[in-house]
Amino acid sequence: MTAIFINGQSVETGDHTTVLQVALANGFHIPHFCWHPELSVVGNCRVCVVEHEGRGVGIACNMPISDGMRVLTDSEPVRAQRKAMLQFILLNHPVDCGICDKAGECSLQDYHYEYNGETAISGDAKLHSTKFFPLSERIILDNERCILCSRCVRFTREISKSNVLGLENRGDSMLVRPAEGRSLDDDPYSDNVIDICPVGALLSRSFLYQARVWYLEPTPSVCPGCARGCTVQFWHRKAEWRLSGLDERHNTRVHRVTALENPRVNGPWICNKGRDLPELLDRPRATQALQKGAPVSLMQAIETARGLLDQAGKRVALVSSWGSNEELRAFRNSLGDYFTSFVKPDHLPLEGEVVEDDLLIRADKNPNTRAAQDLFGTAAAEIPDDTELVLVWGEGVDFGTLPRGVKILFLGSWLLPENGHADVFIPISIQTERRGHYTNFEGVVSPFEACQPHRDGVIDAETLFPLLSAPGGSASGGGAA
Ligand code: SF4
Ligand code: SF4
């Protein structure tokens, strides 16, 4: 095993091949803009300089390891060179942190205070460049803030392979621009460049000026957009920053979704569909239980549903592939004997979306099909004409396809016309209001946490299922379908 000395401390290098990798893996801080663990090494920002004792200063991202080498990460020559590089990088930078969405998450801001901290030594006027360049329908580019690290360019070449972005011109005229004839709109992973841009040059249109990041906090979760089940973070307002003067929806909504690195599932990336989850979650919610379209109390709806279960002979359940592992088990344990159950897709691919690729996106647009099929089988739904009760759990069922005259017990979360067409409609909570687990298509189980308040009038499916078959409830006396 190769060992090197960093700041006088012996460390083993493991599988790593450069000083930067070894240092970061062993807890030594080395600033870096252009280097990214998933991208090729270009060494153009020059702030990751370290001192190779006896050999002088060089960039750590491209410094190969040799057994016994001695490296200093914070010596005087190192700090002097980093300061010079930051002065250079900031020569034409607008330093408009006060109105920049990246403020609070910006490496340039952090490194400036750590290694520079002084006003510009240049007396020349700053060169101006393009502001608000429309890079795509989703992203705008501020060329004045761009430090030309080329992370975004390498992402489209090496990860998403859309080859959309390039650098044109030279020197202080250099610009990130889409390659001729290509559009970033065609890259279903484009928004990852917003995350990996170390400064505030690449900006999400949907998040632009929506919130300062220090008012928000992330909750770890799982993207329900497809069977990959990417690990994500839902960003929402901190409790102490929910303001009475703000619309309640603004206080509690998910403001943005970012990737949470998970080497077993998605690495550090997610697709744009995952970023768009706030739109999905912002749909009007159903919070009122209904009986043939008429409002009733939740308990009344549950009582009536028990009665339906008791009276019906042949019963079929269409099980949600958006139910959590816990909810699916609760259904099987409480109601599994009363129904012939089929797993249905709650969501199908939308028109125009990438259905499947070899990076992350899966054709199954539901997060928990695997766990549901493990419990209820893989057979396609068959509903005999003499079925007397269909329990529909979640979205994706056209009531017009169900047998005529069948009673319908519908468990849903959204304000849909179908709610009023069911014999009983019971509103249930959504993923962001409860905790649980999903099992992705490869069998990896991932947890998600609640990050939004539970709505009044809404019940968790996991709580509901035992109530529908509770002792004393008429459902407990029913036979299997
Ligand atoms: S836009 Fe951001 S990621 Fe792209 S080159 Fe400029 S600073 Fe780097
Ligand atoms: S690949 Fe699938 S799970 Fe991952 S972010 Fe996209 S839609 Fe969500």
Q: How confident is the model at residue 249 (pLDDT cuts 50, 70, 90)?
A: confident
Testing ligand 2's pocket by substitution, the residue of 191, 350, 362, 431 carrying the most ligand atoms inside 8 A of its CB is 362
- Taking 60 as the threshold, does the pLDDT of residue 477 lie above it? no
Q: How many Cβ atoms sit within 10 Å of the Cβ of residue 197?
A: 26
253-287 pLDDT, tens digit per residue, is 999 999 999 999 999 999 999 999 999 999 999 99
0.95 surpassed by pTM: no
- Predicted confidence at residue 194, as pLDDT, reads 98
The answer to whether the beta carbons of residues 422 and 286 sit under 8 Å apart is: no
| Number of alpha carbons in the 13 Å side-chain half-sphere of residue 307 | 9
Q: Residue 69: CB partners within 8 Å, gap ≥ 6?
A: 4, 5, 19, 52, 53
CA-202 nearest atom, ligand 1: 1
Going by pLDDT thresholds of 50, 70 and 90, the confidence category of residue 1 is: confident
pLDDT at 85: 97
CATH 3.10.20.740 applies to domain 3-89: yes
Among the bound ligands, name the one nearest to the CA of residue 146: 1
Is pLDDT above 80 for 308? yes
Q: Could you please state the CATH topology (level 3) that the domain comprising 290-477 is classified under.
A: Rossmann fold (3.40.50)
**Domain definitions of the chain by residue range:** 3-89, 107-204, 290-477
pLDDT digits (tens, 9 = 90+) for 399-408: 999 999 999 9
Q: Is the pLDDT of residue 195 over 60?
A: yes
Q: 378-387: list long-range contacts, CB under 8 Å, 24+ apart.
A: 378/343, 379/342, 380/342, 381/316, 381/318, 381/342, 381/344, 382/342, 383/316, 384/314, 384/316, 386/313, 386/314, 387/314, 387/315, 387/316
Strands (E), 327-368: 340-344
* Pairing status of strand 216-222 against strand 231-237: antiparallel
Question: Mind listing the pLDDT tens digit for each residue in 378-422?
Answer: 999 999 999 999 999 999 999 999 999 999 999 999 999 999 999
Query: Residue 11: its pLDDT value, please?
Result: 95
* Protein residue whose Cα sits closest to atom 4 of ligand 1: 152
Average pLDDT over residues 109-118: 94
Percentage above 90 pLDDT, the chain = 92
What's the CA gap between 197 and 201, in Å, rounded?
Answer: 7
Please give the structure tokens belonging to residue 396: 């994706």
The class of domain 107-204 in CATH terms is alpha beta
Ligand 2 center from residue 475 Cα (angstroms): 38
